[in-house]
Amino acid sequence: MIGLFGGSFDPIHHGHLIVAQAVVEALELEALRFVPARSQPFKQHAGHGGSPEQRAEMVRLAIAGAPRFAVETLELDRPGPSYTVDTLRALREREPGREWVLLVGADAARELDLWRQADQIPRLARVAAFARPGAGIPASAAVWKTLPVPAVDISATEIRRRVRAGRSVRYWVPDAVAEYIAAHRLYLDGEG
């Protein structure tokens, strides 16, 4: 099984990486692909601090040397917004015979019924929901499995705020990502 972990990754941080590793181990996944969204349907008005290409590059830098991790750029290769159902269909067409596991956090699991063609998603991939201790995942026929993951209270929003305020993001993100953010002067302007 191949896991698919989608998101803005604006920027990717240690919280994402810890969850990804925990899920790979819990489900004994062959591989996990990070899927940076071009434009998330529920966040279209929020915008991104990094371009799609910059966000994908930060993921590449963060996972360098992790043999079971990869970046899947399918959503970046087509115009947004990025709908999961379209991505799953494209992957099944491109790689027939593979078994997919869509990884979603507790918040996303609560909104799963609001996603475009939500009823099709469990037909295209198993859905595994992950939650930190104390965060409940609602019962849903669409969710195949629920997984506890370590509680790591790091958010991309807080990282962007720290950068804007001139504060260090060392230990919040991998060193290579912190260096990329500084070199490309990301997150110095804007909101969120």
With 90 as the cut, is the pLDDT of residue 56 above it? Answer: yes
Does the model's pTM come out above 0.85? yes
Instruction: For residue 187, give both structure tokens.
Output: 């997150």
Q: What is the pLDDT of residue 45?
A: 44
pLDDT digits (tens, 9 = 90+) for 84-95: 999 999 999 999
With 70 as the cut, is the pLDDT of residue 43 above it? Answer: no
**β-bridge pairing 2-7 and 126-131:** unpaired
Q: Report the 10 Å Cβ neighbour count for 132.
A: 15
pLDDT confidence tier of residue 38, bands split at 50, 70 and 90: confident
pLDDT digits (tens, 9 = 90+) for 124-159: 999 999 987 666 776 777 889 989 888 888 999 999
What is the pLDDT averaged over residues 110-124? 91
Q: How is the chain split into domains, by residue range? A: 2-154
CA distance 143 to 48: 29
The class level of CATH for 2-154 reads: alpha beta
Q: What is the pLDDT of residue 47?
A: 52
